[in-house]
Amino acid sequence: MRQIFFDTETTGLRAEAGDRIIEIGCVEMVNRQLTGNNLHLYLNPERDIDEEAVRIHGLTVEFLADKPKFAQVVDQLVDFLTGAELVIHNAAFDIGFMNAELKRLGRPLVTDFVGGVRDTLLMARDMFPGKANSLDALCKRLEVDNSNRTFHGALLDSELLAEVYIRLTRGQDALLMDDHGSSGQEGGDTRVAAIDFSRFTLPVLAATPDELAAHEQVLADLDKASGGKRVWQTAAPGEAAPAA
């Protein structure tokens, strides 16, 4: 299964009011293993950026001035996302911005070419009702290291989301890649071979005389403490046990 952890940074909060995407981060995972085949794009929004947004992500108009426009990367982006399941934290926000950008170009909407959309915010709210479920809160709760997250960044946030998702879904404790993009595990989820316990003969260990004597003493103490009302009694060797 191919999944893309997807995040955007934008000029503001309202796509319907003309705010634009300025950064896109995509982290690929296939069969629950990170591949290292990621996509990271900075975009020229062709408009100003809200001051509050700059405080969150640190991206300025000056930095983005020489970056490509969305129309210049749309084919690359659509090709990368096609057929994959998108995993997004607060999916409505990012999908809303993506669809607004695609509509400007007369292109199909996101759900027309991806394999599906999974919202980790909704997943977290189901698992941790009444608790904070921001990405930072989930990183802290699930012990994902987000110490490098001084600013919000689309690629960094997508990488953190991949770790959070794996822990939310209990697949494995962490996603670690070696220099070749391998997590060090063969295959996807861990599988344990079935064991036929009928092949084993289990030993029966008899109690020693000392252990039997200690057991009888415990029963006698119980009988005394209950005023002779003990229900179950042992019989001497060769005798039938008294009826309860």
Dihedral sign of CA atoms 134, 136, 139, 144 in order? positive
Q: Work out the number of other CB atoms within 10 angstroms of the CB of residue 239.
A: 8
Record the tokens describing residue 36, joined without a space. 């290292």
Residue type at position 116: G
How many helices and strands (H and E) does the chain possess?
8, 6
Query: Which of 40, 152, 180, 215 is an active site residue?
Result: 152
Q: Are 158 and 184 in contact (CB under 8 A)?
A: no
Whose tokens are 């069969």? That residue is: 31
Whose tokens are 């210049």? That residue is: 72
Q: Bridge partners of 29? A: 3, 34
The answer to whether residue 152 is catalytic is yes
Q: C-alpha angle 161/189/155, rounded to 5°? A: 20
Task: List, by residue number, the catalytic residues.
Answer: 152
